[in-house]
Amino acid sequence: MDPAHLATLRAVRAHGGVTAAAAVRHLTPSAVSQQLAALQREAAVPLTERVGRGLRLTPAGEALADAALDVAVAVERARAACDAFVARPVGTVRVSAFSSGAQMLLPGLLTRVAALDGVTLECSDEDVAQDEFVALTDRVDVVVAHRPDGSAGWGPDVVVVPLLREPLDVAVPLDHPLADRAAVTPADLADAPWIAVRHGFPVARVLDEVAARTGTEPRVVHRINDFAVVEALVAAGHGVSLLPRWTARAGDGVRFRLLPLEGVRAGRHVDALLRPDRAERRVVRRVLDELRALAADAPGPAPAPPGGGRGG
């Protein structure tokens, strides 16, 4: 079976259909359908089935997609075995990060990788809901993602490299009644007007935990995902919000105050996610080593455990 056709089958499963898989694989929908048909002829059993206007894998297709991942990993390990005889593996590595993570990590990563001969870094910002980060690994080599404290992780089909944990603090205007406090509790915020991110994004889940502790639904007055906009609204007195401690701009008392939140695990874990086959590429591992070293030097994080693994 053609490894490229197997990769297409995996893309159909991961992205829910031919059109989406075609975009990820840089193919036409017709080419995707032809590759699936070729696989089905070799397998001699149905691999896909129609569901309404969509397409899903049959049990046989699911089994083959699982095996396809092992094939992809084996191919990359074979390439890595050859790369071991190259002094400095070279190539292009694509890295994406959510917006505030990109602000924290990408400038330094670009500087570090510029010193690696023959390695080109292509960066993008990908601000998606938490359950969409893993799918990005189909088209990006290293995906910098975040998840709130207490979340289940990223699932079994992705390599996870922990980078750091960043606390989330409560941002209040300078003239807010709580602004002179050293810290706040959920009870202090029971009636506060909140500026929150959209549902499904990691920081929103921390606000859900605040609500659980107070027993009242937070009074959300605005939903804004861009932290720069959130900071401006807080500074102008239009509400309070949760902001990341190290990447909040002007959170040092000049425009607003950042107050630690007590009684709630208020933080986010920043992880690098990789497809298992891409994690075998030596040039990708060179970039990942630089990213891990950079994260270890970030302001104040506890050191991330070494190495990575499937799951989260």
**pLDDT class of 42 with cuts at 50, 70, 90:** confident
pLDDT of the residue at 251: 55
Residue range 202-213: average pLDDT?
85
Domain boundaries, the chain: 3-83, 90-312
Whole-number CA gyration radius for the chain: 22
Does 69 or 232 have the greater pLDDT score? Answer: 232
**Does the pLDDT of residue 146 top 60, yes or no?**
yes
Question: For the packed helices 59-83 and 3-15, what is the interaxial angle rounded to 10 degrees?
Answer: 120
Q: What distance separates the 2 farthest-apart alpha carbons in the chain? A: 71
pLDDT of the residue at 302: 39
Query: What one-character DSSP code corresponds to residue 258?
Result: E
The mean-pLDDT minimum among 89-103, 196-210, 297-311 falls in: 297-311
Quick check: helix, strand or coil at residue 274?
strand
Does 203 or 169 have the greater pLDDT score? Answer: 169
Domains 3-83 and 90-312 share a fold: no
Cα separation, 121 vs 110, whole angstroms? 7
Of residues 141, 178, 182, the one with CA closest to residue 158: 141
Does 284 or 25 have the greater pLDDT score? Answer: 284
What CATH topology corresponds to 90-312? D-Maltodextrin-Binding Protein; domain 2 (3.40.190)
pLDDT of the residue at 117: 87
Q: What is the pTM of this model?
A: 0.73
Cα separation, 185 vs 264, whole angstroms? 8
pLDDT of the residue at 311: 40
Q: Enumerate the H helices of 16-130 as residue ranges.
A: 18-25, 29-43, 59-83, 99-114
pLDDT of the residue at 86: 56
- Cα dihedral 58, 60, 64, 67, rounded to 10, equals 120
pLDDT of the residue at 304: 38
Quick check: helix, strand or coil at residue 253?
coil
Using CB atoms within 10 Å of the CB of residue 82, give its burial: 0 to 12 exposed, 13 to 18 middle, 19+ buried: exposed
pLDDT, one tens digit per residue, over 49-65 is 888 777 788 888 888 88
**Does the pLDDT of residue 300 top 70, yes or no?**
no
pLDDT of the residue at 102: 94
Cβ contact 217:146 at 8 Å: no
pLDDT, one tens digit per residue, over 239-249 is 999 999 988 87
CATH classification code of 3-83: 1.10.10.10
pLDDT of the residue at 25: 81
Does 89 or 134 have the greater pLDDT score? Answer: 134
pLDDT of the residue at 113: 95
pLDDT of the residue at 303: 36
